Amino acid sequence: MSKHPEGKHIKVGILGATGTVGQRFITLLAQHPFFIIHALGASTRSAGKLYPKAANWKQTTPIPAIVRDMIVHECDPRYFVDCAAVFSGLDADAAGDIESTFRNADLAVFSNAKNYRRDPHVPLIVPLANASHLSMISQQRALHQPPLSKGFILTNANCSTTGYVIPLVAMEKAFGPIETCMVTTMQAISGAGYPGVSSLDILDNVVPYISGEEEKMEWETLKILGGIAEADDGTKTFDMHSRHPLRVSASCNRVPVIDGHTMCVSVRFSRRPPPSPQQVREALVAYTPLAQTIGCPSAPVHAIFVHEEPDRPQPRLDRYYQDGAGVSVGRVRQCPVLDIKFVVLANNVSIGAATSSIINAELSILKGVVVA
């Protein structure tokens, strides 16, 4: 195991450690070059148990050695005081209070939950898309009562939003504002957690509805693709892409796929004439987010892999590419209604969830927002 550039191991904690996202955090962090799992938190039902007893382990790799003898605690900050970063895989019904409590205890929380995504002081960061929003952390700390020196909450986005905003950001970077976006998703069952979707509801079936999902995609996209406006008094606000109003229409479906959200996307640019499909493909290939240039160890080599075959990406074949840390795009072609349409595949349990939080923490370390 290599170490942090400065040669330190950095202690981290995991909230909701027994759940689906928590298990994924453990799997990924157990082999991380500088994060080291130090504390595990879960519900009172699990607290006090050895991790293997507390968790109904559902990963395809065995429980990592490092947590095999670890005791699960309640989600109380006192067990996490030594953690430079705390990853939250909590369910929404628990995340609100617990994450707030951890921030109050001056801890840095990297949350996968939806609760604080709409908070005007909390950055909603897809690490391959809008790492610049880290700049909001200092204001979040300053406005806290009392002001915090280290604590904050930073969230990643919904798993569907995450996948498709990465190519959208790459396109806006190359060709300027997008003004219209239509997206239809075909989402994996793992996105609903465990036990989540009943097999009777999804085998040989499509469910053309996921509660709240379309609203999340339509709203989160604006926060992520938007910039940060600064008032005369220095106060920062997320501008929600308001300088170039963007309309997003999402249609969300559940399909019988285990991992990997597939999305059909069509966009219209402000710029006339719009870029050609080939120009878009080149811009996607060329896109290099900060997480790569700054050397985040969990960032993929290819933020966006562009397929040339007509029938790719496919979730079963492409979801594990680069350990699911990048996104795959294919079928970039002209849209008879808007400008360009394409298919994007994102691994919802990797870049769509735990991997995003981890890269966000890596960014925070490497940018000095978190001092370990």
212 is a site residue for a second copy (CB under 8 A) = no
Give the one residue of 7, 146, 234, 336 binding a second copy; rule: CB under 8 A: 336
* Candidate segments 40-48, 143-151, 197-205, 237-245, binder of a second copy by CB under 8 A: 197-205
Q: Closest distance between a second copy and the C-beta of residue 7, in Å?
A: 28
d(CA 144, CA 166): 31
Q: DSSP label at 124? A: B
Q: Closest distance between a second copy and the C-beta of residue 93, in Å?
A: 18
Query: Which SS3 state, helix, strand or coil, does residue 293 take?
Result: helix
208 CB-contact burial (10 Å; exposed 0-12 / middle 13-18 / buried 19+):
exposed
280 is a site residue for a second copy (CB under 8 A) = no
Residue 277's nearest CA partner among 175, 165, 130 is 175
257 is a site residue for a second copy (CB under 8 A) = yes
* Residue 180: how many other CB atoms lie within 10 Å: 17
Task: Print the binding letters for residues 52-81 with a second copy: x by CB under 8 A, - otherwise.
Answer: ------xxxxx-------------------
Q: Closest distance between a second copy and the C-beta of residue 288, in Å?
A: 20
Asked if 278 contacts 263 with a C-beta cutoff of 8 angstroms, the reply is no
Site for a second copy in 98-137 (CB under 8 A): none
d(CA 18, CA 366): 28
- Give CA separation, 235 vs 51, 142, 222, 367, in Å: 44, 11, 20, 21
How many residues of this chain interact with a second copy, rule: CB under 8 A? Answer: 61
Asked if 250 contacts 187 with a C-beta cutoff of 8 angstroms, the reply is no
- Record the tokens describing residue 214, joined without a space: 């379309």
Give the one residue of 119, 247, 271, 286 binding a second copy; rule: CB under 8 A: 247
Asked if 85 contacts 370 with a C-beta cutoff of 8 angstroms, the reply is yes
273 is a site residue for a second copy (CB under 8 A) = no
159 is an active site residue: yes
Is 113 or 252 the residue whose CB approaches a second copy more closely? 252
Give the one residue of 87, 130, 341, 354 binding a second copy; rule: CB under 8 A: 341
Catalytic residue set: 159, 261
Which residues of the shown chain bind a second copy in the complex (CB under 8 A)?
Answer: 58-62, 180-182, 184, 186, 189-190, 194-209, 211, 218, 247-249, 251, 253, 255-258, 262, 264, 266, 310-318, 320-321, 330-331, 335-338, 341, 343
